[in-house]
Amino acid sequence: MNINHQKVFITVNPAVTRKKALLFIEEKLFGEWGLHFGEPVTIMAGCRSVPVLVQPFPSSGPTLKLSYDMNQFLSLPAFSDPISVFFHPEERNIQIGPSFAALINQSPLQDGTFGEMEKFYQEMTSYCNQQGIPFYLVKVQSLQEGIIEAFVGEQKGWQTLTIPIPDVFYNRIHSRKLEASPSFELFKTELKTQSIPMFNGRFLSKYDVHQLLSLENELLPNLPDTILFGEQEAFLTFIERHSIIYFKPVSGSQGKNICRLTQVSGKWKIEPSGKKQELLFADSDEQLFHTLKKLSRKQAFILQQGISLYETDQRKVDFRILLHQNELLNWKVSSMVARIGEQGAIVSNLAQGGLMKNGSDFLKEAFDYPDSGRLYQKLIRLAKNTAKAIVEHHDESFGELGIDLALDVDTNPWIIEVNSKPSKKFQGNYETFRPSVKSIIDFMLTLNSEKHR
């Protein structure tokens, strides 16, 4: 282990007992760092820093003892676990952290939790505690002062505290409206000005994703034909090419507001994805166009070639593959699940009543060996190539992507959707932490290291 990098306890002296410019360092650590009595160094946390004089003191373990005034300026919360600290011998400074934050748009519910995201945020906090990394939940706000308001996870729940601006942000905002707002743009500009990385900076639109992936010739055979719904002439040409078509909101999620369009006895049948919504019919292509215009309610929609998906017991199947970038900035698969739709449903989303199975297990049950292994590798390879293409052709940084793929009846793979805010609803049992928690923190550490190179 690098002796300049340690996990240490951080304590604070009461208000009036010590001079504010003195930093006390446990004597063994003091010696390991090659410090001298009374030497001036700088202590840093996030964007805040304080010049101090250092002095050794006896303690049972590696400890930094801050003065009350010093801690007031740094705005550190009380840490019960040891915190990662790095001593930079060339610059003679001590860096507390790094610290990380998830950027959110919700406040705790009446029960004090973050609803279905609570389990995930708790896991992030616990895993970060183990690594000595302060972890916070932060809403969009001004970064001018070098400090921000944050939700800090403690045993008695989430407390609102003022903290130094974290070193890396992971965007988990669930509102497209907020992401399109001037306040969010200003927040991003302020992060950039202070060289603070943020990844998964925005939602991906279905049409933008299609256009980005179309730039990769290798992916074209796996991309369903897709156009933006708008001009009648382009619409009429498109529906001539395909017998099954999906009508999807550009910014939709969870399989909501999707319709399947099929021709039946010279008419068009319009099947909505919601269980309680009724079938609609159109007598002509022109009537179909006007019906869809009404359904779109001035929202942006795409028309996508319908694929004859592989089914099991009349249930459509697709695969959600969760990928993360590793320390070498290569994409790795963290999990793969098969999503099995309800009988007769037009989508397989879990939010629309679908079931979930481990992806590899499903393939082994559905196909003979070695076909199951071959299909697994084919899906994994396509998911990685898709993620790679998104990063290469998009100006945002992405450390995590949920990619939905499907097999058709001939077992050819197709790219259905790419999601930059994959669901974190707790599904399954993990003895310690779900793979995505570790992967996200590892990527944050990578981004922090890149920043300091």
328-344: per-residue pLDDT in tens?
A: 999 999 999 999 988 76
Q: Which helix (H) or strand (E) holds 27?
A: helix 27-32
DSSP bridge pairs for 302: 228, 248
Q: Supply the pLDDT for residue 392.
A: 94
pLDDT tops 70 at residue 275? no
Query: Which are the contacts of 61, defined by CB distance < 8 A and separation ≥ 6?
Result: 8, 9, 26, 82
pLDDT tops 90 at residue 314? no
Q: Supply the pLDDT for residue 342.
A: 81
Q: Which residue ranges does the chain devote to CATH 3.30.1490? A: 225-305
pLDDT tops 80 at residue 308? yes
Query: 0.95 cut: is pTM over it?
Result: no
Task: For domain 225-305, say whether CATH 1.10.3470 is its number.
Answer: no
Angle between helices 285-296 and 232-241 (to 10 degrees): 120
Phi/psi of residue 170, nearest 5 degrees: -115, 115
Quick one: which of 227, 119, 121, 235 has its CA closest to 170? 121
Average pLDDT, stretch 421-450?
Answer: 84
CATH number (3.40.50.20, 3.40.710.10, 3.30.2010.10, 3.20.20.300) of 100-199 reads: 3.40.50.20
Q: Which residue ranges does the chain devote to CATH 3.40.50.20? A: 100-199
Quote the tokens at residue 278: 């009724």
The pLDDT > 70 percentage for the chain reads 92
Q: Which helix (H) or strand (E) holds 25?
A: strand 22-26
Q: What is the CATH number of domain 309-420?
A: 3.30.470.20
Q: Supply the pLDDT for residue 388.
A: 97
pLDDT classification of 5: cutoffs 50, 70, 90: confident
pLDDT, tens digit (0-9, with 9 covering 90-100), for 89-122: 999 999 999 999 999 999 999 999 999 999 999 9
Q: Which residue has the higher pLDDT, 419 or 433?
A: 419
pLDDT tops 90 at residue 313? no
Quote the tokens at residue 173: 């905002």
Q: In whole angstroms, what separates CA 250 from the centre of its chain? A: 19
Q: Which helix (H) or strand (E) holds 10?
A: strand 5-12
The pLDDT > 90 percentage for the chain reads 75
Separation CA 149–CA 325 (nearest Å): 29
CATH number (3.30.200.20, 3.90.1150.10, 3.10.270.10, 2.40.40.20) of 5-96 reads: 2.40.40.20
Separation CA 133–CA 21 (nearest Å): 25
Quote the tokens at residue 243: 């017998």
Q: Supply the pLDDT for residue 167.
A: 96
Q: Supply the pLDDT for residue 184.
A: 97
